[in-house]
Amino acid sequence: MMIIKQMKDPQNLDYLSGQAILVDKPVNWTSFDVVARIRRLTKVKKVGHAGTLDPLATGLLIVCTGKKTKEISSYQEQRKKYTGIITLGKSSPSMDLATEISEKPLPDNLTEENILSVINKFLGNIEQVPPMFSAIKHKGKALYKLARAGKVVEREPRQVEIYSFEITKIDLPDLHFEIACSKGTYIRVIANDFGNELGCGGVLSLLRRTEIGDYKVDDAFDLNEFSSMFKVEKIE
């Protein structure tokens, strides 16, 4: 993969077609927002991304342009690594901070040993029920649109694989974690289910994708850095 570090010729952007660009997606941007920004900057009509990040998440997004979009599926299939925070004692319809939060007291006997013992239930091949607040289609309509209308439909569980899951810091009610997983894994669902296993619920309060296969967010552009090569104003 070519990592573009400077503009070759601001008057000739043809070389930007057929590239895979590593972007560090900012918070409160959708993955489509990033694609639209790259399309406008590069003036390449065909642009896509290899794996959606929720608006509240940050981190590595691989954006493909031109003929490189044919390789999107190969990037999507690669394992992902995330860091983040599960906040216990809370729940929400979206399983993160995007929707209304309900609170529940933490168990009196909640210990580090109890917390760490739950991890094994989330390792290896596991089944997840996709959240209603997701882009999965039901009869041609995205589930999140149905959820916003107050509708709930039955979802079939899907098998995903969790290669590693580590609690890196316990600062109750927050659990800091690092997870490596397969394509299609909903970290929000892990946060929700992990909290339910402890009897108090949980939401995903922070998420950052750090790796896709061998590609790392440390090698990615933030949008200000990328935009600066085109002499445009910084993002909000």
Whole-number pLDDT of residue 147: 65
**Does residue 70 sit in the same domain as residue 100?**
no
Q: For residue 148, give the DSSP letter.
A: H
Tell me: the pLDDT tens digits for 124-161? Answer: 999 998 887 766 666 667 666 766 767 777 778 899 99
**Domain containing 152: what range?**
80-212
25 C-beta neighbours (distance < 10 Å), count: 27
Q: Is residue 104 part of a domain?
A: yes
**Does residue 64 sit in the same domain as residue 149?**
no
* Structural domain count of the chain: 2
Where residue 224 sits, what CATH number does that domain have?
Answer: 3.30.2350.10
Whole-number pLDDT of residue 60: 96
Q: Is residue 2 part of a domain?
A: no
- Rounded CA separation 85/190 (Å): 11
**Does residue 194 sit in the same domain as residue 113?**
yes
**Does residue 64 sit in the same domain as residue 165?**
no
Q: Which two tokens stand for residue 120?
A: 């094994």
Whole-number pLDDT of residue 134: 67
**Does residue 69 sit in the same domain as residue 163?**
no
Q: What residues are annotated to the active site?
A: 54
**Does residue 90 sit in the same domain as residue 139?**
yes
Q: Is residue 1 part of a domain?
A: no
Rg value, the chain, Cα: 19
**Does residue 38 sit in the same domain as residue 149?**
no
Q: Is residue 7 part of a domain?
A: no
- Rounded CA separation 151/153 (Å): 7
Whole-number pLDDT of residue 1: 47
**Does residue 102 sit in the same domain as residue 204?**
yes
pLDDT mean across residues, the chain: 87
**Does residue 85 sit in the same domain as residue 195?**
yes
Helix, strand and coil in the chain, % to nearest 5: 25, 35, 40
- CB–CB of 212/220 below 8 Å? no
**Does residue 22 sit in the same domain as residue 100?**
no
Amino acid identity at 165: F
**Does residue 31 sit in the same domain as residue 104?**
no
Rounded to 5 degrees, what angle do the CA atoms 216, 219, 53 make?
A: 55
Q: Is residue 6 part of a domain?
A: no
Whole-number pLDDT of residue 156: 82
